[in-house]
């Protein structure tokens, strides 16, 4: 090998080593967004035939739970599911209580409730003028103690949110937002939780009282009596 070829090889080897030492690296970051909902009137007891109103009314800049920052999610499908259960025993977890959607009539004014089954239905939140809106009238047809709760079909799907800019990574690349979960908070946490604790067994007060379970059971469901 002649001297000039050797010099060229050594030059490019040095460049490659330098480049690999200074390679920018992206960072995957889990994000969880909090969706505020309201169920009114906020009271623990109503009568058969009374009306509850389920509402969503919030801008498309939405709070990310871990950072507390707000990020724009425009025209986003939250894929929200809602359940209606009757609390029949304090020895059963919420997930074990019987589904009773047929005990209610629904009258959508904006948004919708569709794909109705025995326990679950899709809660469709409409998007217009940079806001998310829904308003559903719910009328109970029979007496009992009931629990309404919410979750997203996107939970743990790790969907990349290209529109969410988390800034640069420590390695000079960018932070890539992966959707981990969507939390639903009802009435800013005013959910008649004491009534729920009396009539259902809770993971968040027994086997696993972590932040996620407290959020889902105690802030993300609504409990009420129908007489």
Average pLDDT of the segment spanning 15-40: 80
Res 106 pLDDT > 80: yes
- Please say if the pLDDT value at position 114 is more than 50: yes
What is the pLDDT at residue 11?
45
Domains and CATH numbers, the chain: 30-155+182-226 (2.60.40)
Looking at the chain, the whole-number percentage of residues with pLDDT higher than 70 is 90
Task: Calculate mean pLDDT across residues 62-66.
Answer: 96
Quick one: pLDDT at residue 136?
A: 98
Q: What percent of the chain has pLDDT over 90?
A: 85
The secondary structure of the chain, three-state, reads CCHHHHHHHHHHHHHHHHHHHCCCEEEEEEEEEEEEEEEECCCCEECCCCCEEEEEEEECEEEECCCCCEEECCCCCCCEEEEEEECCCCCCEHHHCCECHHHEEEEEEECEEECCCCCEEEEECEEECCEEEEEEEEEECCCEEEEEEEEECCCCCCEECCCCCCCECCCEEEEEEEEEEEEEEEHHHCCCHHHHHHHCECHHHCCCCCHHHHHHHHHCEEEEEEC
Q: What is the pLDDT of residues 165-198, one digit of tens each?
A: 999 988 889 999 999 999 999 999 999 999 999 9
Give the pLDDT band (50/70/90) at residue 99. Answer: very high
How high does pLDDT run on average in the chain?
A: 91
The pLDDT-based confidence of 12 (bands split at 50, 70, 90) is very low
What number is the average pLDDT over the span 62-89? 97
């Amino acid at each position: 090998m002649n001297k000039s070829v050797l010099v060229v090889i050594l030059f490019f080897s040095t460049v490659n080593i330098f480049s690999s030492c200074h390679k920018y690296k992206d960072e995957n970051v889990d994000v969880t967004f909090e969706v505020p909902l309201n169920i009114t009137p906020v009271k623990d007891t109503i009568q058969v035939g009374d009306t509850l109103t389920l509402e969503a009314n919030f801008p498309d800049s939405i709070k990310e739970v871990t950072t507390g920052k707000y990020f724009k999610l425009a025209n986003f499908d939250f894929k929200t599911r809602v359940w209606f259960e009757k609390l029949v025993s304090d020895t059963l977890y919420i997930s074990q209580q019987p589904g009773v959607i047929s005990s209610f009539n629904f009258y959508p004014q904006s948004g919708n409730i569709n794909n109705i089954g025995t326990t679950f239905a899709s809660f469709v939140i409409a998007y217009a003028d940079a806001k998310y809106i829904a308003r559903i009238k719910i009328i109970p047809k029979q007496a009992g103690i009931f629990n309404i709760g919410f979750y997203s079909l996107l939970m743990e799907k790790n969907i990349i949110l290209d529109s969410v800019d988390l800034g640069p990574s420590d390695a000079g690349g960018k932070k890539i937002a992966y959707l981990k979960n969507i939390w639903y908070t009802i009435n800013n946490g005013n959910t008649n939780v004491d009534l729920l604790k009396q009539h259902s067994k809770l993971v968040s007060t027994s086997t696993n009282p972590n932040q996620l379970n407290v959020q889902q059971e105690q802030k993300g469901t609504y409990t009420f009596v129908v007489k």
